[in-house]
Structures are given as structure tokens and as C-alpha cells.
Amino acid sequence: MKNFTLNIWVTKNTVFSVNELSQIITNTSDNSLRQKITNYVKNWYIEKIYRWIYSIPNMKVNLFELSNKIYSPSYISFFSALYHYWIIFQVNPSEIDIAYKKSQSIKIENLWINIHLRCLKQDILLNPEWLIINDTYTIASPERAFLDTIYLYNNIYFDNIEPLDTNKIIELIPIYKKDAMMKKRVIKYFPNLNLWML
């Protein structure tokens, strides 16, 4: 127990999948691992927060990390990423938007959060261009989050587009495979960009 407590606290994680716990609880068979996890939950060393995801009791859970671990492959994007970068100002932080292979919303009652899956085509979803891989989660860059959002939604209001790098936006447009549509939508926000020459 002492080794487990020490090992779990030195990670940067705020939530743990069963696979991650198996790397902390070493030298155990699958059955033994399940028994140990059950025992750790019973003794309040860890708590189950959603299906196969666990956390340390009373630790503040990183909601981006949690969302990425429940749904994989995925990355934080759309309104959550735009709010994170202060491109938009009015978002409920307990509503998490992630890019995923299908659209769905789930509520995690004990954490009072909703995770919204926004469907992107596989070739966009798996393209690593301007995705930022942090220690515990993956998030779109401001430009990628902006383009993901206007790709799925037209006529979105952005509070502050100043931080967006138009060179990165130009670089990213081709990954959406709808150049004419994306250029038309980008020009609405950046009318001085001459995208039709590209």
C-alpha cells in the first residue's frame, strides 16, 4: 500500500485508467490487479469516478485529462479550447468539448460535468498538425480549434481573434479537404487575407 500511494502521487495524472494503474501496481496478473484495485477503492486510496477511470480521493480532477481518457483517440477543441485560449469568453467550464469519431453527449453526475463529443472525419481527427500534447491530455492549438469550430458550425461569434496566427490557419486549411468552403468561412473573420491566391 505504501509503495502504491507513493507511486500514484508522483505521477502528473489526476485520473488513472486501469492500464495506467497496472503500471503502478506491478507484478500482478489480471485477476490480482482487479482484486487490488477493488481493495484500494474499499480502503479509499483511490475512487472510481467513471467506468474504468479512477482518481485519488479529494484530488481536483483535470477535466481535459478525464475527457481524453474516456474517449480515445480524441483531443480538446471547439469551445473548450477556444475558451482556454481566451478566443471566446463565455463558456461553462463544466461543459467539455472534444473532437472524436462520433457525436454524443454524456453526463458524469458525480463530477457535475457534461462531455460533448463533436464528430470529425477520421483523417481530420487523426491528423497531428498543430495538436499540443501536454503531460496528461491533448488539445488543439488556437488556430486548429478555430478551424474545427468553423468547419462544423457556420456564423460563430468569436470575442477575440487577435491571438490567432493567420499563417498557421493557412497551413491548416488543407487538412479539412474542403478548401473553398473553409476559405470562404475564414475570410468572414479575416477579410484582408487573400486566400484565393493560394
pLDDT at 101: 96
Of 115, 123, 122, whose CA–CA distance to 98 is shortest?
115
Cα 103 to Cα 70: distance, rounded to the nearest angstrom? 14
Cα–Cα distance between 8 and 29 in angstroms, integer?
Answer: 19
Q: What is the mean pLDDT of each run of 10 residues along the chain (198 residues)?
A: 71 90 78 85 90 90 94 96 96 94 91 94 96 95 98 94 95 93 94 74
What the block records as the C-alpha cell of 176 is: 479539412
pLDDT of residue 2: 56
Among candidate residues 143, 187, 190, 185, the one with its CA nearest the CA of residue 164: 143
CA–CA distance, 180 with 123 (Å, rounded to integer): 18
Q: By three-state DSSP, how is residue 22 classified?
A: helix
| pLDDT attached to residue 197 | 57
CB-count exposure of residue 78 (10 Å: 0-12, 13-18, 19+):
buried
Q: What is the pLDDT of residue 167?
A: 94
Query: C-alpha cell of 113?
Result: 460535468
